């Protein structure tokens, strides 16, 4: 009989946050190798995986899906691999459900209602190979795309077969034919909120409606100098394995602005404003339909541009590959939301990341006509411009400090390299 090994939730994985077991990624009896993801957890900040502690097979499930779990809890047990079954460990597919369910009958229409549920392991593979999940057939329950589906697609790329029905096989009428439409009951589907989505919703409402009176100020910013600087240095950074993004410059400029206006790098208390020495900048990072996380770059005031870029790369890569831990999002003192990457000109207010008192917003970079004085004459010129905003907690800051921060931030970016 093989030795049973406890599958536990290590204390350093949570750092005091709560967690819910969202999914068992393997079924009882499935063979896994040490380090394979076997459990998917959701905390109030991030989705994460628990991996197999050794080679072997899953013997017992103790914590069920949807259950709140605590550190050092025994989630399940697995049997240690023996010589006879080690060879088969890599050949047994990891399945999607922990409990054995009766096979569901096939229907004419494919149910894709779970395609949006993407686990960290799948997200990581998609990011590593620059794949579009919409091109991949999902073999998991209700159309969910599994890790094996992605691996199969990488080995043999085939376009996804779109579901068809009997109705779609009927010849379409002429585009000029008149078709009478009548009102009918609305049809749709309920997609349950993930724990992360529920927590995000609660935090947003609490921040805006119950905690901080939000006020937003907007400035315009010329990006010419950092565009030129980046053009000359991005290859140099890339040769050292670091991607130089515009956000790197924004973090550097935030340090200068926060040092000039320390009230922005602070936390509000009923009897005092706590202003911090370290400038730990949270970087809002969208995970598509999965939600939003804010990894923190620590002690940015002690870094040069290269060090900022390297630290920023590390945190955003972990976010997009599902590798963030709660400790990666601790001790933020001010946050940036670069919402312009998705085309937004500006957003107001951007909800403050509690318990901070300010959040910077960067809009879409756009070439615009601006008026400049050239040789004493007002002249229309084209410049790469964007809007930059600061949403503040009006309990802690007023317009004076808000505009001083933005003015310094714009001055640093527009004067970069001069």
If residue 222 lies in a helix (H) or strand (E), which one and from where to where? strand 214-222
Annotation says 394 is catalytic: yes
DSSP 92-132: SPPPS-SS--PPPPP-SS---TTTT---HHHHHHHHHTT--
CB atoms inside a 10 Å sphere around CB 8 = 17
Closest CA to 80 of 51, 59, 49: 59
Q: CB of 75 within 8 A of CB of 96?
A: no
Helix, strand, coil percent values for the chain (each to nearest 5): 35, 25, 45
The phi, psi pair for 140, rounded to 5°, reads -75, 175
Nearest to 147, CA basis, from 126, 132, 130: 126
Which stretch of DSSP H or E encloses residue 38?
Answer: strand 37-43
What letter would DSSP give residue 4? E
Helix 224-239 and helix 399-414: axis angle, to 10°? 60
**Paired tokens of 401:** 């400090």
Distance of alpha carbon 388 from alpha carbon 346, whole angstroms: 7
Specify the residue for token string 């920023």.
Answer: 312
What single-letter DSSP state applies at residue 289? G
Within 8 A by CB and 6+ apart from 284, the residues are 292, 294, 335, 336, 337, 338, 339, 353
Q: Mapping DSSP to helix (H, G, I), strand (E, B) and coil, where does residue 135 land?
A: helix
Tokens 């190979």: give the residue: 129
- Report the distance separating Cα 35 and Cα 157, nearest Å: 27
Strand 334-337 versus strand 281-283 pairing type: parallel
Tell me which residue of 21, 16, 100, 22 sits closest to 58, measured CA to CA.
100
Report, as residue numbers or ranges, the catalytic residues: 394, 398
């Amino acid at each position: 009989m093989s030795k049973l090994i406890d599958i536990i939730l290590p204390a350093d994985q949570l750092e005091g946050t709560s967690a819910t077991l969202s999914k068992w990624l393997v079924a009882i009896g499935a063979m896994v190798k040490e380090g394979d993801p076997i459990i998917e957890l959701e905390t109030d900040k991030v989705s994460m995986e628990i991996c197999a502690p050794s080679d072997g097979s899953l013997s017992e499930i103790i914590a069920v899906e949807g259950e709140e779990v605590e550190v050092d809890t025994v989630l399940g047990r697995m049997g240690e691999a023996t010589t006879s079954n080690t060879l088969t460990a890599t050949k047994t597919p990891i399945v999607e459900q922990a409990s054995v369910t009766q096979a569901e009958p096939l229907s004419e229409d494919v149910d894709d209602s779970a395609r949006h549920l993407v686990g960290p392991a799948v997200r990581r593979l998609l990011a590593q190979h620059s794949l579009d999940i919409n091109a991949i057939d999902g073999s998991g329950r209700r159309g969910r795309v599994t890790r094996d589906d992605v691996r199969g697609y990488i080995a043999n790329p085939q376009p996804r077969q779109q579901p068809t029905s009997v109705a779609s096989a009927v010849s379409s009428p002429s585009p000029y034919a008149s078709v009478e439409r009548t009102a009918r009951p609305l049809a749709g589907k309920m997609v349950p909120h993930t724990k992360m989505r529920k927590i995000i919703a609660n935090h947003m409402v609490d921040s805006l409606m119950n905690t901080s009176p939000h006020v937003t100020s907007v400035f315009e910013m010329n990006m010419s100098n950092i565009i030129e600087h980046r053009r000359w240095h991005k290859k140099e950074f890339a040769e050292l394995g670091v991607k130089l993004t515009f956000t790197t410059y924004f973090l550097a400029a935030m340090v200068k602005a926060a040092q000039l206006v320390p009230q922005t790098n602070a936390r509000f208390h009923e009897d005092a404003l706590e202003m911090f020495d370290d400038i730990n900048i949270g970087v809002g990072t969208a995970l598509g339909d999965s939600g939003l996380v804010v990894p923190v770059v620590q002690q940015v005031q002690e870094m040069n541009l290269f060090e900022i870029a390297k630290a920023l790369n590390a945190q955003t890569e972990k976010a997009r590959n599902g590798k963030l831990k709660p400790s990666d999002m601790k001790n933020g003192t001010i946050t940036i939301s670069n919402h312009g990457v998705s085309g937004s000109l500006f957003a107001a207010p951007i909800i403050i990341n509690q318990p901070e008192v300010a959040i910077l917003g960067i809009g879409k970079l756009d070439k615009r006509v601006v008026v400049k004085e050239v040789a004493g004459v007002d002249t229309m010129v084209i410049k790469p411009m964007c809007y930059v905003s600061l949403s503040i907690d009006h309990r802690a800051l007023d317009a004076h400090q808000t505009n001083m921060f933005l003015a310094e931030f714009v001055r640093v970016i527009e004067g970069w390299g001069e």
